[in-house]
Amino acid sequence: MRGRLRGLNATRSQWVAERAPLPPAATDWPAPPVDTARAALAEADRQLRDQFPEHELRRAVEDGEAAVRAAAGKVSTEPAVRARAEEFVASQPAAADEALRREAEEAAHDRALTAAGVRAGADRELADAETEVTATKAPPDRPRHAEVPAEPVDRADALRRAAAASEEAAQHQSVVTERERERDAAGAEAERAEIRAGLLRDQAGVLRDVEAAPAAVGDVSEVDAEVRARVRHLAAEVDAAEGAYNSAMSTRSKAAEALRTWAGADRFALVAEDEHGRAVKLLRDLFRSDQLFERVAPRAGEMAADLENRHRLIDQLLAEVEVHKRNVVSRLAGLVDDALGDLARASTLSELDDNIGPWAGQRFLIVEPRQRPTAEQIEVRVADLIDQMLAAGRVELDTIELLWKATEAAVTDGFRASVLKPAPDQPTGRTPVEDMRKWSGGENLTASLVLFCVMAKLRAEKRTGTRAGTAGGVVPLDNPLGKANYVPFLELQRKVAAANGVQLVFWTGIGDLGAVTAFPRIAAMHKRPSTSRAGAAYVTVDGDASFTRRTQVLDVVATGRRDD
């Protein structure tokens, strides 16, 4: 307990010593809160540290402690002092009483603590004075031989001058402090500038592939976040631009390759040998070259204008070609329609005479489309045929073949064609024309004779523009009896020829008297070599005509055609 009391007394004594140099507190001021007092204490401590640097205070404290240790050492090492103290203590009445001696020791201890407090206060005042002296001391760079303008007359004058000097020193210190603050602020600003410079260098590294502009454009934001956002945006734009550039280069390469392929088409190799053809060949070679852009780009405008003019001229030519094509299509479609009409008319003209027998009034030939196209359908289908020919580069120049192809293209469902099969009893049953290749020579000859008469009538109508009655004319046949010597067929052929007004002339070299004698007029001819011209021969009347029942001599044979 006593030890605790001694500790408390020591703490109180220390507080008393610390409060000793402070001015008396004002009794009429309210006691501030603890937080406010602490804040005031912290502010006072800051001001104190600004007024008296910490290293100066530390040096003063170290000097004071060294002085105290030196004094304590001197006191503890003086034998006379210790002996006198012991004699003094032994001469006191309470020296023999242990309790009194203990109380005396405690009292002495208390007085020692009090003295220590007083001494601490004195040490503090000494330190303050030394600090004040240090603060008012002349600067190190002041010349040592400089003299004070006037010596102080007394202590008060010295204190006044010291106060003035202290005030001036405080002003200088304030200036120094301000400069230090400016220095610190400049250092902080430099640090911030360095940090920002690092930021800008990093952001510039993001755009390292972008070439710098010759002069600065715009301002850089002071906010780092905005700078980063702006750089990200610019980097995205640069990436987009690079992507667009790469895409454009790829498109350009593809366009160049497409142009080379287009210019290398075989259709350009077949141009005419004229001014336009030579220009096309030059352009073809130019567009197929490896230095396409280098050779084309400098003259792109001129070439584009030239191509535009040629394009316009070609359009005009194509328009003229289109007009000609429409005329050709229209004319060919008309011919197809006429051909279909001719087929129908041929079927009508094949109707046999009433005096011919069982075939009387029958159409020997019936040919017609399975489905007759209209004029519009014919024109459309013929136009498609012409386009196909032009696209294939193979235009049919033979008129008959062209008309046949056009008719075949117009009649998409094909034709129906049938004939009466020749026979002595003249059957009326119809036979498809494709079966005629199976017929005998006599059957084919009879059918051919009928078809000849039909075609003769049709040709006469086309030539005169009027309806034909009998065809008329002479039909010479070279040795038909070699394949068709059946007498009933010969009789049928003569009936058909007589009904159509046709004169039959059979030339034969066979000796089939049965077939030959079926004709009412017979001329025997013989080929004799010429006696005056080597290699020549003449046909003369044969004097030996023993196979005929009556001799007939042909003096003159002439053929002719009457147009009326």
Q: SS in 3 state form for 46-95?
A: HHHHHHCCHHHHHHHHHHHHHHHHHHHHHHHCCHHHHHHHHHHHHHCHHH
* Structure tokens, 405: 């192809």
Region of 218 (left: φ > 0; alpha: ψ -120 to 50; beta: rest) is left
With a cut of 90, say whether residue 32 has pLDDT above it. no
pLDDT tier at 418, thresholds 50, 70, 90: very high
> Among residues 21, 2, 1, which one has the least CA distance to residue 117?
21
Question: Which amino acid does the sequence have at 372?
Answer: R
- Rounded Cα distance between 390 and 518, Å, is 57
- The residues with which 477 forms a beta bridge, in sequence order, are 506
- The residues with which 363 forms a beta bridge, in sequence order, are 351
Instruction: Determine how many CB atoms are found less than 10 A away from the CB of residue 306.
Output: 13
- Rounded Cα distance between 424 and 386, Å, is 48
pLDDT tier at 75, thresholds 50, 70, 90: low
pLDDT tier at 145, thresholds 50, 70, 90: very low
Kindly calculate the radius of gyration of the chain based on its CA atoms and give it in whole angstroms: 72
How far from chain centre, in Å, is Cα 394?
40
Q: What single DSSP character describes residue 421?
A: P
DSSP codes, 255-301:
HHHHHHHHHT-GGGGG--SSHHHHHHHHHHHHHTSS-HHHHHGGGHH
Tokens 């210190």 belong to residue: 173
Is residue 420 within 8 A of residue 431, CB to CB? The reply is: yes
- Rounded Cα distance between 363 and 430, Å, is 10
CA dist 164 to 130, 133, 171, 290, 328, Å? 17, 13, 10, 96, 128
pLDDT tier at 366, thresholds 50, 70, 90: very high
Is residue 222 within 8 A of residue 193, CB to CB? The reply is: no
- Rounded Cα distance between 363 and 428, Å, is 10
pLDDT tens-place string over residues 258-268:
878 887 777 76
Is residue 220 within 8 A of residue 227, CB to CB? The reply is: yes
- Classify 181 as helix, strand or coil: helix
- pLDDT at residue 146 in the model: 41
pLDDT tens-place string over residues 149-196:
666 666 677 777 778 877 887 888 888 888 888 888 888 888 888 887
- pLDDT at residue 144 in the model: 44
- pTM metric for this prediction: 0.45
Sign of CA dihedral 360, 361, 366, 370: negative
Average pLDDT, the chain: 75
Residues 132-155 as b or e (16 or more Cβ within 10 Å = b): beebeeeeeeeeeeeeeeeeeeee
- The whole-number average pLDDT for the span 119-148 is 58
- Rounded Cα distance between 296 and 300, Å, is 6
**Residue 538: in which H helix or E strand, if any?**
strand 537-541
- The whole-number average pLDDT for the span 477-499 is 75
Is residue 444 within 8 A of residue 491, CB to CB? The reply is: no
With a cut of 50, say whether residue 517 has pLDDT above it. yes
- Rounded Cα distance between 344 and 287, Å, is 57
